[in-house]
Amino acid sequence: MQIKPILSALRQHKAGTVLIAMQIALTLAIVCNALFIIQQRLAHLSEPSGIDETHLFVVENQWVGKPSPDQLDAQIRADLSALRQLSSVQDASVSNSYPLHGGGWDDGLKLKPDQANATTEAAIYFADEHMLATLGLKLIAGRNFRADEIGHMGIRDALAPPVIVITKALAEKLFPSVDGHANAALGKTVYLMSNRTTIIGIVDQLQSQSVARWAADFAHRSVLVPLRLVSPQGTYYLIQAKPGQLDAAMHAAEPTLLAQSRKRVISDKDGLLSFAEVRAHAYDSDYGMAVLMGIVCVVLLAITAAGIVGLTSFWVGQRRRQIGVRRALGATRRDILSYFMTENLLISSGGALLGVLLAVTMNLWLVIRFEMQHLSLLYVFIGVAILLLLGQCAVLAPAMRAAQVSPVEATRTV
Amino acid sequence: MFAYYFQLGLRSLRRNPILTALMVMAIGFGVAASMTTYSVFRATSNNPIPQKSSQLFAVQIDNWGPEDNDKGEPASSLNYTDSIALMKAHKAKRQTALYPVGLAAVPADANLLPFRTNGYAVYGDAFPMFDMPFLYGGGWSSAEDDGHAAVVVIARSINDKLFNGANSVGREINLDGHNYRVTGVLDSWDPKPLFFDPVNTSGFDDPVDLFIPFTRAIELKMSTNGNNNCNKNPGDGWDAWLHSECIWAQFWVEAPSKADVDTYRQFLQGYAAEQQRAGRFHWAPNVRTRDVMDWLDHQNVVPAESKISLLVAMGFLLICLVNTVGLLLAKFMRRAPEIGVRRALGASRREIYGQFLIEAGTVGLAGGLLGLLLTGLGVFGVSLVFDPKIARLATLDASLVALTMLVAVLATVLAAFYPTWRAAQVQPAWQLKSN
């Protein structure tokens, strides 16, 4: 196929050519970035929490009145033993928060007491000896808390647990080892809020309480402290139901707790949540953004395709005589078809070139303005491929109509 | 002539139904995408208290210093020491420290279960400051602030729940085992975003149920139900925590004029300098006063999702317009012979302009109608994409309908300028000859 005659023909249709190229460029810029946003959001929401979520649910329990710390601790222990006795319940534990919850407690960890800045921030989860089993956490080194190690503390008391269990991610941050073994941290001393504590166990994975950007730095760096937090503000019971008995356990939980004491509030709205609901809520904006960008991409591509069909049809209509002349001079239908296909490919390539620049610029702006990540070139390639293919498909119908023009047209005057 | 051109425009829409349909759809989708995302952006960037937003200021004092603050910016909350010092100084027309408290309301009927409330501990100034409307009674006095009085202002919803909507002023309610006398019942009041505390809420959480005196809450050792941030170990127990540098309170002042704000800022500077002299701050005074809209912006109340999607939708509309320019060009140039005849019969370029811009306007109108329909669907479906708390606020009201139509018509007419110019350039002689 000769490109030169196509280029000189395009010079006669500057406006249309520029419009199609511009449309392709802008579409490419948006589609690349949208696809990239979709990928980022999907990657974010498919991050593993490290816990066994299928049969897990959460009860948010607020206390009424102001029971003393000892009273409250006794009540929590009674509640837990009642919950554990339910036939549908595998195990139950209590904490101040849980992964994906959104809010919670985080503190800095130091290697030396006089260190100016913390080595890392970490999510703090209060736990008893049942926590590992309840959440289905995998202990990869050391040991779990013993029942006699579990104490209790009020919300304004100093957090000073003698021993802690930490995640592998945290262990590797605190004590980077050459061979990548997290065990290096086992038995080591660290300082939690300047209070000395010893690492007695390491679990494989436990996500922090928030998936928002402010918590991204310590996303999987978590600490379990052997304490029950006795806070009038609220206690979260984490309950692992037996397989297939999640509904039964969720139904039984509230009456069981109310039978223990009625001096509590379990909200109708969000007092009782299955972990599937927790997960959906934690990631709803990510999921929504991915869906929205998906819709935008599809509609945008459809509109761009429609635009190409419209303009090319117009060109075909305008050039019926010329096509007739070419056919009369011996051009085959195939030649006419490939003429229009090549013409579109040239315009699209020009547009795509400009589009790559626009896509990168738009991404840079998003990076500066919204702390997004840099666009990976893969998405630019995917975008270019999609648009070139789209252009070829869109031009196919009008080009085929052009190929049907009979040589007789050359002799017509109108 | 306008009516005639409009009629011509309508007729021409029917002449190339496919081309017309493509244009109408492009404009419809483009406008709908931008209007739907705009409806969310409008809701999240709303000014919740327009009559006073430039007179209310959130106060920030850097009590952590350059080592712990956020790149020189003071933290968004105050500690107890500073909150109380500013309250005592009483240098603004009105001022209040505030923090969220989660209290359980215990109904008098023992058969009913207690329920959770979403409350704030404030000073009495808060009610006139924030223009809260009262259904019954009013706020409490500064004497009651000073006396740590057990009083409460409840929202209409709580009054309906506990007193069946009757005037409950003077009656008592039980919160976490303590009785509080109702001094006032608020009429429906639910500013969105919740401007006085975006730090502890997203700005779009559930409405506030009740207010109790700050002094009373402290006396009862109520911890904040929101964020508490410490840069150092606060030590053991309530008193140590209360007098630590842990930050958890918001502080608002009312300053009616520019001069008042300047005076107050000077006072804050002086206060911080005094703290520096006393050896508590080891750094130069670093204070801020931000008005409502400035504060909401600083707290990033508009979610990044809302901004990005509005931006993408604007790009989408731009592409639809480029598309429309191309299609209009095709449509108009197809009628070159017709234009040639009109020009030969004496129509001026101006008249060609008029005719084709009006024709484009009719396309825009049709696109706007489709866009309106799609925007309706979009606003309805916003909850699938955005947090339901925010999605609820996006509505298709009269102003959005008007804006949708306006944007559709205006954008299409704008897009038609180039094709119309090309149409007006048609040489009558050339057209007549070639035919």
- pLDDT tens, residue by residue, B62-111: 999 998 888 889 999 999 999 999 999 999 999 999 999 999 999 988 88
Q: Per the CB < 8 Å rule, is A19 touching B329?
A: yes
Cα–Cα distance for residue pair B293/B295, rounded to 1 Å = 5
C-alpha distances in Å from residue B395, one per residue of A371, B47, B233, B381: 30, 16, 47, 11
Cα–Cα distance for residue pair B425/B406, rounded to 1 Å = 28
Residue A113: its chain B contacts at CB < 8 A? Answer: none
Given a contact cutoff of 8 angstroms between Cβ atoms, the answer to whether B156 and B10 are in contact is no
Residue A193: its chain B contacts at CB < 8 A? Answer: 233
Q: Per the CB < 8 Å rule, is B177 touching A37?
A: no
pLDDT value of residue A139: 94
Residue A289, helix vs strand vs coil: helix
Beta strands B287-291; B56-61: pairing state:
antiparallel
Q: Per the CB < 8 Å rule, is A27 touching B319?
A: yes
Beta strands B210-213; B119-122: pairing state:
parallel
Residue B422: its chain A contacts at CB < 8 A? Answer: 15
Q: Per the CB < 8 Å rule, is B418 touching A15?
A: yes
Number of continuous H segments (helices) and E segments (strands) in chain B: 16, 12
Q: Per the CB < 8 Å rule, is B116 touching A66?
A: no
Nearest to B121 by CA among B201, B229, B197, B202: B197
Nearest to A207 by CA among A225, A232, A192, A224: A224
* Token duo for residue B155: 């929202």
Q: Supply φ then ψ for residue A150, to 5 degrees.
A: -80, 120
Cα–Cα distance for residue pair B170/B138, rounded to 1 Å = 11
Q: Which residue has the tokens 């049907």?
A: A404
Nearest to A142 by CA among A117, A126, A123, A164: A164
Cα–Cα distance for residue pair A153/B221, rounded to 1 Å = 16
Q: Per the CB < 8 Å rule, is A314 touching B334?
A: yes
Residue B220: its chain A contacts at CB < 8 A? Answer: 66
Cβ contacts of residue B185 below 8 Å, gap of 6+?
Answer: B134, B135, B136, B137, B153, B154, B155, B156, B159, B167, B168, B169
- Burial of B230-263, coded b for 16+ CB within 10 Å and e otherwise, reads bbebbeeeeeebbebbbbbbbbbbbbeeeebbee
CB atoms within 10 A of CB B433: 9
- pLDDT tens, residue by residue, A150-181: 999 988 888 999 999 999 999 999 998 766 66
Residue A304: its chain B contacts at CB < 8 A? Answer: 319, 323
- pLDDT tens, residue by residue, A6-33: 888 888 888 889 999 999 999 999 999 9
| A353–chain B nearest CA distance, Å | 17
Given a contact cutoff of 8 angstroms between Cβ atoms, the answer to whether B119 and B99 are in contact is no
Q: Supply φ then ψ for residue B150, to 5 degrees.
A: -90, 75
Mean pLDDT of the region B141-166? 95
Q: Is the dihedral of CA A359, A363, A369, A370 positive or negative?
A: positive
pLDDT confidence band for B235 (50 / 70 / 90) = confident
Chain centre distance of CA A279:
11
Q: Global pTM? A: 0.88
Q: Which residue has the tokens 């840079």?
A: A364
Cβ contacts of residue B300 below 8 Å, gap of 6+?
Answer: none
pLDDT value of residue A65: 83
Cα–Cα distance for residue pair B185/B172, rounded to 1 Å = 12
Region of A160 please: left (phi>0), alpha (psi -120 to 50) or beta. Answer: beta
Cα–Cα distance for residue pair A271/A265, rounded to 1 Å = 8
Residue among A30, A65, A193 whose CB faces B312 most closely? A30
Q: Of A92-101, A115-124, B6-15, B185-194, which gets the smallest average pLDDT?
A: B6-15
| A49–chain B nearest CA distance, Å | 22
- pLDDT tens, residue by residue, A217-262: 899 999 999 999 998 778 999 999 999 999 999 999 999 999 999 8
Nearest to B175 by CA among B133, B124, B212: B212
pLDDT value of residue A400: 92
* A-chain residue closest to B241, CA distance: A156
Q: Which residue has the higher pLDDT, B364 or A413?
A: B364
Given a contact cutoff of 8 angstroms between Cβ atoms, the answer to whether B115 and B105 are in contact is yes
CB atoms within 10 A of CB B162: 22
ipTM: 0.85
Residue among A103, A267, A296 whose CB faces B312 most closely? A296
Q: Per the CB < 8 Å rule, is B327 touching A157?
A: no
Maximum pairwise Cα distance, chain A: 104
- Burial of A104-126, coded b for 16+ CB within 10 Å and e otherwise, reads bbbbbbbeeeeeeebbbbbbbbb
Residue A37: its chain B contacts at CB < 8 A? Answer: 308
Cα–Cα distance for residue pair B91/B270, rounded to 1 Å = 12
Choose, out of A106, A217, A292, A368, the residue to mutate when testing the contact with B (most B CBs < 10 Å): A292
CA torsion angle A114 A120 A125 A128 (round to 10): -60
Q: Which residue has the tokens 């509309």?
A: B317
Q: Per the CB < 8 Å rule, is A300 touching B334?
A: no
Mean pLDDT of the region B33-41? 92
Helix (H) or strand (E) holding A320: helix A320-328
| B292–chain A nearest CA distance, Å | 22
Cβ contacts of residue B378 below 8 Å, gap of 6+?
Answer: B32, B33, B35, B36, B39
Given a contact cutoff of 8 angstroms between Cβ atoms, the answer to whether B408 and B320 are in contact is no
Q: Per the CB < 8 Å rule, is A292 touching B238?
A: no
Q: Of A334-348, A375-389, B338-352, which gets the smallest average pLDDT?
A: B338-352
Residue B354, helix vs strand vs coil: helix
Residue among A157, A285, A307 whose CB faces B387 most closely? A285
Scanning A122-151 for CB atoms below 8 A from B yields none
Choose, out of A18, A26, A303, A364, the residue to mutate when testing the contact with B (most B CBs < 10 Å): A303
* Token duo for residue A97: 């928060």
Q: Per the CB < 8 Å rule, is B322 touching A26?
A: yes
| For chain A, percent of residues with pLDDT exceeding 70 | 98
